[in-house]
Chain A
Amino acid sequence: MTEQSPAIELKGISKAFGPVQANKDISIRVMPGTIHGIIGENGAGKSTLMSILYGFYKADSGEIFINGKKTEIPDSQAAISAGIGMVFQHFKLVENFTVLENVILGVEDGFLLKPSLNKARKELRQLAEEYELNVDPDAVIENIGVGMQQRVEILKALYRRADILILDEPTGVLTPSEADQLFRILGRLREEGKTIILITHKLREIMDITDTVSVMRRGEMTATVKTAETNPSHLAELMVGRKVLLQVDKAPAQPGEIILDVKNLNVTDEQGVHRVKDVSFNIRAGEILGIAGVAGNGQSELLEVLGGYCVATGDIFMNGEPIDLTGDKSDGQSRRERGIAHVPEDRHREGLILNFSAWENTAFGYHKDGKYQKNGVLMDNAAIVQDTAEKMERFDVRPPNPMLAAKNFSGGNQQKIVVAREIERNPDLLLIGQPTRGVDIGAIEFIHKQIIALRDQGKAILLVSVELDEIMSLSDRIAVMFDGKIMGERLPDETNTQELGLLMAGVQGETA
C-alpha cells in the first residue's frame, strides 16, 4: 500500500508568550483534498498555531512538514511560497483599494502596475468560473459587503497559488445564506484537491463540512477524530473538559403585563441615514424578545436609543409612563433610574474601560448609588470593592480579583463582569446586545442561564444578537430587523433558521 504524504504535518509544536504556554507539543496531520476543522474555546491556542503555520510567529520547538517535506516558515513570504494561504478573521484588505489592487499587492510582476493588473483581471475571471467566486474586480473594498470581501481574501490566496487554505472563524460576520455559499465554495475547492483548515468555535460548522476535526484546549491538542464518528456534545465536552448543556433549558414563558412599549421609533444618524424606520414593538414581564438580523441593520441604534445615548423620534413607554427621548432626562443615568439596565453590544467600547480595574468598572453607571457613597460626596471605594468581590464570586469570574484591570480578564470573564453589574441591579428591563460575542462555551452556558433566570423572576428582556442559534434558543418571541425595519415577528417553535435567514436578508417570505 503506498501511503500518500499529508499536505500538512506538524510535529511537537510548542510556543510560549512569557509565562503563558499558548501551544504545548502539538502534532497534527492533514491529508490533501480534505477539510480539517480545528475547534476550541477562545484562547485555546488555535490562532497561535495557525499564525506559526503562516510565519507570523516562530515556534519555540517542533517541525513543520508540507507535502512530506520539512519546511521552515520564518515569515509570511515563506508561507506563501510553500503554498499556504490564510483568510484572517479580520480581513487583511486595504479598504480604499479595488479588488484587483488588493489581489496583486505583494505579488506584482514588475515595477509597473498595469501588466500585473491586466494579468490578474484575466486570472480572476478564470478563478471565478472554476470556483463560483464571482467578484467585480474594479469594486472598491469599502463599498462591498463582508461576504464579498471574504471571497476577495480567498481569491488572494488562490492567486498566490495556494494549495492549503486556512480560514480563521470565517462565518462570524456572515448571514446564514452567505455562510452556506462559503461552504459551497469550500466544497468546490476540496473537489479540486485543495486542502482546507477551518478554525471555528461553532460546532455546527464542524459537523456540516469537515472530514476530520481536532480539538484544542488550553494550548493542547486534546483529540483528533473523524467527523463522521463524533457528535456535537462529545466535541463540546472535549473542548471544555466537562459535560456542557448545548440546549438551553427553559420553561415556557409566563408573560405578564407590558413593561416596554415602543411606538413608531425613528432614528436618523449624523450622516442623515435613516437607521431605524418606524419600529414598534412591546415586551411583557417575564418574556424575552429576541431581535435577529445581520449586523448593521438598525439593531445597534435601537439599543442605543433605549440605553439613552442616541437621539430618536417616536414614543417609548416604560411601565405605561413615557420616557424622554431628548433633553436632560434622556441619558443613560435617567434610563437606569427608570429600571432599564443595559449590557452593550461592544464590551470593549461601551461596556468597560479596559485600563480600569474590575471594581471601578462595576461602579460605572451606578456610582451615585447610595451604598457606594460616603458622606454624600465621596465614593466608598471599600464598599465597591467588597460588592464587586461578591458579584465576582456569584458569577464565577476568574480570577476573582476586583483590583485587576478589565483588560487582563478573558473575553468571557469580561462579559460576566458587565452582565453581573447590570443584572444584579434587579432591573425591570434588561437590554442585552451580543451577550456571548467572543465568549467561550462555558461562559455562554452561564450567561444564558442568568438571562433565563432573570426572565423567570418576571423581568422583561430585549436580546439583540447576530447569532441565530442564540436567538432561537433563548427568545420567547423573535423579531427580525432588516434595513431599519422590523420584517416580522415569529415564535421560535413555529419557525426555522431558513425562514429567519430569508427575513434577515430582506426577503418577505410566506409565513411558514
Chain B
Amino acid sequence: MDLLAFFDIAVLDGTVRLATPLLLACLAGLFSERAGIFDIGLEGKMLISAFLAAAVSFTSGSVWIGMFAGIFASVLLSLLHGLASITFRGNQLISGVAINFFASGITVVAAQSWFGQGGRTPSLSGDARFESIQFPGALTRIRDINKADLPMKVYSELLSGHTIIVYMCILIVPLVWWILYRTRFGLRLRAVGENPGAVDTAGISVVRMRYMAVIICGVLCGMAGAYLSTGLQAGFVREMTAGRGYIALAALIFAKWKPWSALGATLLFGYLQALAIRPDILERAIGIRVQTQVLDALPYILTVIVLAGFVGKAIPPKAGGEPYVKER
C-alpha cells in the first residue's frame, strides 16, 4: 500500500484536464438552473459543439473559428430549449432530452456525410487544435520529468503544458461568483430562479432574464464541447461527451448550485476520471488490482450516490423547472 500514490502528479495533471469540460458545463448549468430553467440538455449541447468545433477547425484550419462555430451551435440549441420552456412553457426535461437525442444523431450523420470516416472528423493538428502552452523552463519530455525533483515535476507537468482553455477556467470561477453575488445581473438572475413573481412585480422581465441565462449556458457549454474535441482530444468521435453533461449536472447538485463548490465537485469527478485511466496507480495505492471497468464506472456510481441525496440535502432554486405564468 502506498497511499501517496493517490497524489501521483500524472493523475493530478489528468484531473485538471478532465475537470475542465466538467467545470464549464457545470457552470453553464448553474446559470440556467439559477434562473429557474432546468437543463438536462448540457450533454447534447456539448456534443454538437464538440462536433462543429472539430469540423470547422479542420476545414478552416483555425481552432478559434472552430470554437466559435461550436459555441454558435450550442447557443442555438439553448435558444431552442428557451423557446420550448420559456416562451411556450413546455416541459423542461422533455425539451432537454429531445436536444440530447437530436445532438446524438445529427453529429454522426453530419460527420459521415462531410468526411465519410464513419461518423468521426479527421484528426486535427497544428492550428486546428488548442496546443499545450509550455511555461518557460518547464520540462517537456516524460523521461526528463520522471527524473526531476518534486517542485519541478509539479511545475512542468501539473502547472505547465495545458491549453489556453484550462488556464481561462482558473479565472472563470471567481468571475462567475462575482457576477452572481456582486452585480445587479446576478441579483436578478438568482431572484428569477427563486421567485419569478417577485421579479415580475419589481418591473423586470422574467422572460428576458431567463433567455439571457440560457444563452450564457449555451456559450459555456459550447466552450466545454469545443475543448473536448480540439483540446483534450484531436478530433470528434461519436458520443465523445460520454455522459459528461450528466456528470456536470450531478456536480451541480453536489455543489448546491454554488460556483466555488462547483469547482470542488468537478475536480473530484475529474480526479475519478483521471484515476480510471491509470489503474496501475490505483493498484499501487491500495494494493489490490481493480478491474478497469469498475474504475470507468466510478464517476457514474458517485453520480448516482450524489443524485440519490446521500451527500447532504441539496435545495434547488425554488422556481426551478416551473414555467412562469402570471397569477390572477
User: Is residue B202 within 8 Å, beta carbon to beta carbon, of the partner chain?
Assistant: yes
| A107–B195 CB distance below 8 A | no
Of B8-16, B24-32, B180-188, B229-237, the one touching chain A: B180-188
User: Is residue B326 within 8 Å, beta carbon to beta carbon, of the partner chain?
Assistant: yes
| Complex Cα–Cα for A17 and B198 (A) | 24
Which residue from B191, B203, B326 sits with its C-beta under 8 Å from A94?
B191
User: Is residue A80 within 8 Å, beta carbon to beta carbon, of the partner chain?
Assistant: yes
User: Which residues of A sit under 8 angstroms from B188, Cβ to Cβ?
Assistant: 105-106
Q: List 22 A-B contacts (CB under 8 A).
A: A47-B328, A54-B201, A76-B203, A77-B203, A80-B203, A88-B201, A90-B197, A92-B200, A93-B195, A94-B190, A94-B191, A94-B195, A97-B191, A101-B187, A105-B187, A105-B188, A105-B199, A106-B199, A106-B203, A106-B204, A112-B183, A113-B186
Shortest distance from the beta carbon of B127 to any chain A beta carbon, whole Å:
37
Shortest distance from the beta carbon of A458 to any chain B beta carbon, whole Å:
43
User: Is residue B194 within 8 Å, beta carbon to beta carbon, of the partner chain?
Assistant: yes
Which residue from A79, A97, A116 sits with its C-beta under 8 Å from B194?
A97
The 8 A CB mask of A62-102 against B (1 = contact, 0 = none) is: 00000000000001110110000010101011111100011
User: Is residue B258 within 8 Å, beta carbon to beta carbon, of the partner chain?
Assistant: no
Which residues between 160 and 207 of chain B lie within 8 Å of chain A, taking CB atoms? 182-188, 190-191, 194-195, 197-204
User: Is residue A134 within 8 Å, beta carbon to beta carbon, of the partner chain?
Assistant: no
User: Which residues of B sit under 8 angstroms from A107, Cβ to Cβ?
Assistant: 202
A residues lining the B interface (CB < 8 Å): 17, 47-48, 51, 54, 56, 75-77, 79-80, 86, 88, 90, 92-97, 101-102, 104-108, 110-114, 116
Shortest distance from the beta carbon of A9 to any chain B beta carbon, whole Å:
23
User: Is residue B318 within 8 Å, beta carbon to beta carbon, of the partner chain?
Assistant: yes
| A105–B191 CB distance below 8 A | yes
The A-B contact count (CB < 8 A) is 72
Shortest distance from the beta carbon of B201 to any chain A beta carbon, whole Å:
5
| Complex Cα–Cα for A97 and B198 (A) | 11
B residues lining the A interface (CB < 8 Å): 182-188, 190-191, 194-195, 197-204, 318, 326, 328
| B182–A102 CB distance below 8 A | no
User: Which residues of B sit under 8 angstroms from A80, Cβ to Cβ?
Assistant: 202-203
Which residue from A56, A77, A95, A101 sits with its C-beta under 8 Å from B326?
A56
Which residue from A51, A76, A90 sits with its C-beta under 8 Å from B202?
A76
| A94–B184 CB distance below 8 A | no
| Complex Cα–Cα for A110 and B198 (A) | 19
| B195–A92 CB distance below 8 A | yes
Known: A77-B203, A80-B203, A113-B182. A108 touches B198 (CB 8 A): no
Among A47, A48, A105, A114, find the residue whose CB has the most chain B CB atoms closer than 10 A.
Answer: A105
| B328–A94 CB distance below 8 A | no
Q: Which residue from chain A places its CB closest to the CB of B193 in the assembled complex?
A: A94
| Complex Cα–Cα for A107 and B191 (A) | 13
Shortest distance from the beta carbon of A90 to any chain B beta carbon, whole Å:
8
Among A96, A101, A106, A112, find the residue whose CB has the most chain B CB atoms closer than 10 A.
Answer: A106
| B201–A86 CB distance below 8 A | yes
User: Which residues of B sit under 8 angstroms from A112, Cβ to Cβ?
Assistant: 182-184
- Counting from the closest, the 4 A-B pairs by CB-CB distance are A106-B202, A77-B203, A92-B198, A108-B184
User: Which residues of A sit under 8 angstroms from B184, Cβ to Cβ?
Assistant: 108, 110-113, 116
User: Which residues of B sit under 8 angstroms from A88, Cβ to Cβ?
Assistant: 201
| B195–A51 CB distance below 8 A | no
User: Which residues of A sit under 8 angstroms from B203, Cβ to Cβ?
Assistant: 75-77, 79-80, 106
| A105–B194 CB distance below 8 A | no
| A95–B197 CB distance below 8 A | no
Shortest distance from the beta carbon of A276 to any chain B beta carbon, whole Å:
25
Shortest distance from the beta carbon of B4 to any chain A beta carbon, whole Å:
42
User: Which residues of B sit under 8 angstroms from A101, Cβ to Cβ?
Assistant: 187
User: Which residues of B sit under 8 angstroms from A75, Cβ to Cβ?
Assistant: 203
| Complex Cα–Cα for A76 and B187 (A) | 19
Q: Which residue from chain B places its CB closest to the CB of A76 in the assembled complex?
A: B203
Which residue from B195, B200, B328 sits with its C-beta under 8 Å from A95?
B195
Shortest distance from the beta carbon of A113 to any chain B beta carbon, whole Å:
6
| Complex Cα–Cα for A56 and B327 (A) | 9
Q: Which residue from chain A places its CB closest to the CB of B194 in the assembled complex?
A: A94
Q: Which residue from chain B places its CB closest to the CB of A156 in the assembled complex?
A: B202
User: Which residues of A sit under 8 angstroms from B183, Cβ to Cβ?
Assistant: 111-113
| Complex Cα–Cα for A56 and B191 (A) | 19
Shortest distance from the beta carbon of B179 to any chain A beta carbon, whole Å:
10
| A113–B187 CB distance below 8 A | yes
Known: A88-B201, A111-B184. A95 touches B194 (CB 8 A): yes
